[in-house]
Structure 1
């Protein structure tokens, strides 16, 4: 994947957790990486790891539901987080991410669907499960209509 975007591209890791994806990209020469998560502990761990590896990653604690894009990104990543917020919130995030994607940029979004039930440990928190194929449909439109 790292061959598909320029090393100078802006990258954002939304719901980064402890930053495995951000760290990987920084270790492979990407310089402009933003990463945030709702968990202060996860963000602090990412900060410690990036400092110990002498990597620069711009990190902050933030809520995806209140996040506003302020620049264009060559890569927007959201792995395994959108099903933990309401459908209207994840839908709006995807539409906003499309608008914040640089020309030729890439969005990588992983979202659980209702095709396979979530595991017992996360089921109570998976409030925004998508219907199978729903994410494909929302990427074709520019506004949320339900």
Structure 2
């Protein structure tokens, strides 16, 4: 599946636009897995970054899709929240060397090719301080209520790529990411049997990864 994200944010209602932070991200913050200066990489429409900024963190949020960043800035302004947004290539992160204590990747890793994942993990290493924490939510090859993820990533791929890029995986568990069934994107048409909650959202299977920078 190859997606043109600039086009999606211009022409479609994307399935990951909950209008609020992902519950899995809220749970990470409540579990103490966010600290210091935070990089939200692949921030999309900014709701996770806005939530973390409201919680008192210094947040920089980047996305390769200029339209997504434009809309995210508007949401932050409307919410009276200060977030540093930027259009940037997550596989390079030029100009961000050694800045961050925490990285949040909510649903970017699985969008990358294997070659891009190697560059991405290396870029995160350059952009963070020694001992920095990476929290990553990535589509898994499991099922939630019989529903598979559209871009499944095997556990071994995550462990091997992070280890080679200077990160030690300290925790890797299964979880859920929510998608909006009212999306105008064909992404969700593959799952006609999925059961939505009262807000029209369906759970997708993910890995919840915790890794420390060496």
**TM-score category, normalised to shorter length:** 0.7 to 0.9
1:141 & 1:45 partners in 2: Cα distance? Answer: 35
Which deviates the most, 60-69 or 84-93?
Answer: 60-69
The equivalent residue for 1:36 is 62
CA gap 1:102/1:5 in 2 versus in 1, 3 angstroms:
farther
What secondary structure is seen at the aligned counterpart in 2 of 1:64?
A: coil
Higher strand content, 1 or 2: 2
Name the larger-Rg structure: 2
Which sections of structure 1, spanning at least 5 residues, go unmatched?
A: 120-125
Which sections of structure 2, spanning at least 5 residues, go unmatched?
A: 1-28, 167-214
Q: Give yes or no for contact 2:139–2:149 (8 Å, CA) kept in 1.
A: yes
Q: Deviations over 1:26-65 (max 9, x none)?
A: 11111x2111112222212211111122211111222323
Say how many residue pairs are matched.
Answer: 132
Cα RMSD (Å) of the superposition?
Answer: 2.4
Q: Deviations over 1:64-100 (max 9, x none)?
A: 2343342331111111122222111112211332343
Q: How far is the alpha carbon of 1:107 from its aligned partner?
A: 0.3
CA gap 1:91/1:118 in 2 versus in 1, 3 angstroms:
same
- The TM-score with structure 1 as length reference comes to 0.74
CA gap 1:115/1:133 in 2 versus in 1, 3 angstroms:
farther
